[in-house]
Amino acid sequence: MKAVKLESERLVFLPLSLKHLSQEYLDWLNDFEVNRYLESRQGYNKKLLENFLKEQERKDILFWAIHTKEKNKHIGNIKIDPINLESNSGEYGILIGDKSSWGKGYAKEATSKIIQYCFDTLKLSKITLGVVSENNRAIKLYENLGFKRERIVKKFGVYDGKECDSIRMIKNNYE
């Protein structure tokens, strides 16, 4: 399954590819404030990012670059990976890396569009995600979008200098 171009009211979703290699993208990955709750952490260089993007292009994956329609600016990424065919479910992840785009509702708009696509077009039964228990803004967003807390994974990892739990959340189709 490969990502296809999609659009929402203010955003365009393009398959993530090598053409997204930029200094701005590299800066997001090395910005503590941007990646403080991500499993991938600082330490990226241009070659590592280039290799990562080439690898994503080769994969059969639903991984989009999020662009604003107004300026065609790459502001983040969103993915559904992996997809589990047995349970007909997908694992969700998002990064709004461009800090000037924070607080404008882009994460909500992007998440809504991608979940709608997964449920309506791909006919997935559910979307799951994991969120660091300290990431209150993300938890609130997911709950507002209909995700339910499923379980807590204790001592999941060290984020922002302290050991944190992960909250597993789920959104079922047809709810």
Q: Is residue 66 part of a domain?
A: yes
Q: Is residue 1 part of a domain?
A: no
Name every residue whose Cβ is closer than 8 Å to that of residue 142 and which is 6 or more positions away in sequence.
111, 129, 131, 169, 171
pLDDT in tens, 6-54: 999 999 999 999 999 999 999 999 998 888 777 666 678 999 999 999 9
- Residue 68 to residue 76: CA distance in whole angstroms: 10
Q: How many C-beta atoms lie closer than 10 Å to residue 16's C-beta?
A: 24
Could you give the number of structural domains in the chain?
1
pLDDT in tens, 103-112: 999 999 999 9
What is the domain extent for residue 70?
A: 6-172
Q: Is residue 145 part of a domain?
A: yes
pTM, entire model: 0.92
Looking up residue 44, the CATH number of its domain turns out to be 3.40.630.30
175 pLDDT band, cuts 50/70/90, is: low
Q: Is residue 60 part of a domain?
A: yes
